[in-house]
Amino acid sequence: MTDRSLDMLIDEIVLGLAEPADVARVEAMAADDPDIAARLDRARARFAPLDDTADELELPEDFWARVERDLDGADSLADTPAEARAPAEVIDLSGVRRAMTRWRGAAIGGLAAALLLAVSLGWTLMNPAQPAVIAVLLNEQGEAVALVESRPDNTTRVTLLEQADVPPDRVMQVWTKPEDDGPPVSLGLLARGLSDTLTIEGLPAPHAQQLYEITVEPEGGSPTNLPTGPILGKGLAKAPVI
């Protein structure tokens, strides 16, 4: 991308005109490149005076109580010392489906769908072998954090959409449940902390509604071979319409 077209894209992101996939891409670039981050910040600062032109409205009286209620459980992992965290427990994934509905799936649906289309199209064009299923993994706030594309042989491409807050002595582990009522199975580790392609043998071909999730585990992966750590993101797969 030329500098000039990148600056244009940055301006469009600041205005809210860019596609979600472009926003994710530029934000990922900014995370790695202080120069791009600075250009993004400068562009935002140029338009920021418009925020001050909005009316100052009155918040409802109980507003702080509403916010505070949401903070419970939202405390940032990055700021909790590892030893202060609850001891690792095996997570019961049976509640995940119920939880998904609470996780503002609907509110985020548009963005997730757009991301899914844009990113999967990119991958599909570059890779003749098409994925059997695609899942957008959402975090607790309903933000898309990863895109999972899995082929019939369970070769699974995991594209991170947000820089994950993983402590240095921990690793991201990718899981799926090949059978809805069966145990979760590890697809592998994102040992480099980056997007990666994982391969595994002996699993049935992935199907729609199959659960995928990424958890934070001790170095080398979960000691129990079941997810034990906090969930970074999870989502149910869909078969792409091709």
Tally the residues of the chain: 242
Binding mask 109-128 toward other proteins (x if CB under 8 A, else -) reads xxx--x--------------
Instruction: Please report, for residues 99, 110, 112, 160, the alpha-carbon distance to residue 105 in angstroms, rounded to integers and kept in the order given.
Output: 10, 9, 9, 19
- Interface mask toward other proteins for 152-191; x: CB under 8 A: -------------x--------------------------
Span from 44-52, 145-153, 192-200, 209-217 in contact with other proteins (CB under 8 A)? 44-52
Closer of 11 and 196 to other proteins (Cβ): 11
Q: Is 8 in the site for other proteins (CB under 8 A)?
A: yes
Report the distance separating Cα 142 and Cα 105, nearest Å.
6
Give start and end residues of each alpha helix (H) in the chain: 3-15, 20-32, 34-47, 63-71, 96-102, 105-126
DSSP strand E in 70-167: where? 133-138, 144-150, 156-160
Distance CA 181, CA 89 (A): 19
Q: How far is the CB of 113 from other proteins (least distance, A)?
A: 9
Residue 108 touching other proteins (CB under 8 A): yes
Stretch that binds other proteins, among 61-69, 120-128, 152-160, 168-176 (CB under 8 A): 61-69
Structure tokens, 112: 């997730």
Please report how many Cα atoms fall inside a 13 Å half-sphere around the Cα of residue 114, on the Cβ side.
Answer: 13
Tell the smallest beta-carbon distance from residue 120 to other proteins (Å). Answer: 18
Which residues, 6 or more positions from 24, have their beta carbon under 8 angstroms from its beta carbon? Answer: 115, 119, 144, 161, 162
When the beta carbons of 189 and 216 are compared against other proteins, the nearer one is 216
- The footprint of other proteins (CB under 8 A) covers 7-8, 11-12, 14-17, 37-38, 41, 43-60, 63-64, 66-68, 70-71, 74-76, 78-79, 106-111, 114, 141, 165
